[in-house]
Structure 1
Amino acid sequence: MTNPPPHEALKPEASAWFATLRDRICASLEELEQMAGPNPGRFVRTAWDRPGGGGGEMSVLRGQLFEKAGVNISVVKGTFTAEFAAKIPGTEAGAAFWAAGISLVIHPRSPKVPAVHMNTRMIVTAKGWFGGGGDLTPMQPGTPQATQDAALFHAAYKAACDKHDPGYYEKFKKWCDEYFFLPHRGEPRGAGGIFYDYLDSGDIAADFAFTRDVGEAFLAAYPEIVRARMHEGFTPEEREAQLVRRGRYVEFNLLYDRGTTFGLKTGGNTEAILMSMPPEVKWP
């Protein structure tokens, strides 16, 4: 009996990891909500099925600390369109795919607490690879607090990268800086982080271990940043600036984000895909 390829054998473990990570992140955010006051928000979970195969679960919290926090998981399979398959590795002999992952976007109510994005995923065609990363978006860029928060966030991801390859951090940080950039405005979306895709080193167990550590780095860094800022007061002017800055988030996700494109091109759940949109936003 022939053993399945390593990436095929890893599918159940990877799917389980993304679900477990979702549970831990949601629990951490709910704990922070409870620290913020007497009426904490809680995550509401909504399952969805994909007509072409698979599905996922959306978890959304609307609370006093987190104006909107969404943490989604999915496991989907099907066939890429010919146009989209041409851009994906391993589709030369066929356009079938399998994909699993976690994606989150958090929009805090206070402009003193930065917004954040993180996702990790495993995709299988004739090949198997991992991708993902995390990036921080301070609502008051250039302030000492924003600089401190970015330093903590980057330190956590550098530690995760250095654990696996001394070249990962600089490579993936540069990729993040180039990817999360708004060409039409000539500015970065935020303070960056790391971004990687098509990670297939030839050792899929090592690539999966790194991807798990990317999730662990988020759990190590972001709740600490929130705890340090959540009780700081803010002015109406700072709130107004936050809403305008959120507009940059909307522009990037609708114009350039790979995850948005992948989800829409593969028949994903539209509400889950657009979960990243902030609940309130302004343009000057």
Structure 2
Amino acid sequence: MKIQFNGRRALVTASTGGIGFAIAKGLAEAGAEVVFNGRSTASVADAVSRLSAVVPGATLQGVAADLSTPDGVAELVRSAGAIDILVNNAGIYGVQDFYETGDEVWENYWQTNVMSGVRLSRALLPAMVEKGWGRVVFVSSESARNIPADMIHYGVSKTAQLALARGLAKRVAGSGVTVNSVLPGPTLSDGVADMMKGEVERTGKTLESVAAEFVVQHRPSSIIQRAATVEEVASMVVYVCSPQASATTGAALRVDGGVVDDIV
């Protein structure tokens, strides 16, 4: 199976590093034009430069915009132009006890993790439907189904993404546009690497070894018993965006290493 996106234009939010960058790279390697997004002009320019180096000849554009605000989303939509593939990867996370999580934190997570995807989908889906082809993907998390007690605010926002994606899939039923969610589990993203940097330095172990120990301790239901790579998550997203995935819509597709302990 050879996936090709020649003539397709993709927008990947929060794509200057980690899973987002890996998704952008996978799409560009398959021929898509890619619009990068990040919060700062410098980070976006750096990401475009890095991808240009590894995918020579790729057509790339960078747009700096804060997607936690309506104005930021509007700026991204204006600058990005026509889009065939929307990957809603923007999101924030962090450990915080429920009793100490105030309304302002809940609001920030809701605006960033949920409303950014609401606003972008509302702006970009109509043109996809009119064209008769399009892909929308929400990068959610296994935490959407396996709510972490120490990040309830995060888990709730990720569960909301699943509901949003399913509802949008129904809204555009029969149009040739698909809407899906992808649920990564523990993944060796830039944020995870930063979180584990101290333990790596203290023990002298590799990042992969420290991450695997974390998974065994904190996600004992994991079947692969290690953290996934960003490329493994990106491969699922690229497939879901492909023409070959035209019969997959309204789905919540797990790349969690088996953390969620069920067979459905």
Tell me the TM-score normalised to structure 2 length. Answer: 0.31
Tell me the TM-score normalised to structure 1 length. Answer: 0.30
Structure with the largest fraction of strand: 1
